[in-house]
A = this chain, B = another copy of it.
Amino acid sequence: MADGKTTASARRPSGQRRADAQRSIDKILAAGLELYSSRPGVSVAEVAEAAGVGRVTLYGHFPSRTELAQALIERAFEETEAAWRDVDTSGAADEALARILRRQWNLMERNRNLRDNVVGDLSPQWLRERHDPILRRIEALLTRGQDDGVFRTDLPLSWMVTALYSLVHAASDEISAGRLTAEQAPEVLVASLGSLYRA
């Protein structure tokens, strides 16, 4: 969020937020992320309650449901980008992919749920713009794998990306349904995407 951009109502002349205000904001964002990424149809009142904060207080910091959703998305995507910067994407593309999957498949999944559950409140363009940088990282890795002859080239690149998201999402659903354990999930993903991508 680059901070300071939040559309708070009142602010001190110095531009600084008071410590208790910042605490409220943090609690709201944490609770919002938790709720929005776990199920659809979340209400502002629910977020406030889960955050242990009055509804009015929440509206003081996020003037509308939409602005709350925006803050959540920006924060989550920023976290994902940080995770990407952290992981080693050098070496064979298929092994790099495996590393990434094992490391952030659950982060990818959480973000996907979040996206799904706020998609009604945000404009597609806005959402797309924020998501693009992450998308481009994935595409870059896949393209490199294709150039190196590790990944197949007979499928559209966009489809390969979509399949990745789709299966990550599916794996999480399987865990929720009790048909897959959290330990199995990344291995199943690596195996499935491995054979799907292999040249």
Interfacial residues, chain A to chain B (CB-CB below 8 A):
40-41, 120, 152, 154-156, 158-159, 162-163, 165-167, 169-171, 173-174, 179-180, 184, 188, 191-192, 195-196, 198
Chain B residues contacting A170 (CB-CB under 8 Å) are 159, 162-163, 165-166
In the A-B complex, the 7 residue pairs with the smallest Cβ-Cβ separation, listed nearest first, are A166-B170, A158-B179, A166-B166, A162-B170, A196-B196, A195-B195, A159-B188
Q: Give every chain B residue within 8 A of A179 (Cβ-Cβ).
A: 156, 158-159, 162
Question: Given that A163-B167, A166-B166, A169-B166 are contacting pairs, would A174 and B158 also be in contact in the complex, using a CB cutoff of 8 Å?
Answer: yes
In the complex, the answer to whether A173 meets B162 with C-beta atoms within 8 Å is yes
- Contact check, A191 vs B156: say whether CB atoms are below 8 A apart: no
Min Cβ gap A108→B in Å is 14
Interface pair B188/A156, CB less than 8 Å apart: yes
CB of A110, distance to nearest CB on chain B (Å) = 17
Task: Return the chain B residue nearest A173 by Cβ.
Answer: B162
| Cβ-defined contact, A155 with B196, below 8 A | no
Looking at the assembled complex, report how far the CB atom of A168 sits from the nearest CB atom of chain B, in whole angstroms: 9
Q: Are A174 and B192 within 8 A (Cβ)?
A: no
In angstroms, how far is the closest chain B Cβ from the Cβ of A106?
Answer: 17
Q: Are B155 and A191 in contact (CB under 8 A)?
A: yes
- Which residues of B have CB within 8 Å of A154? 191
Q: Which residue of B lies closest to A170 (CB)?
A: B166
Question: In the complex, which of the residues B40, B163, B173, B184 contacts A192, with contact meaning CB atoms closer than 8 Å?
Answer: B163
Instruction: Specify which chain B residues have a CB less than 8 angstroms from the CB of A169 in the assembled complex.
Output: 166
A161 to chain B, nearest CB (A): 9
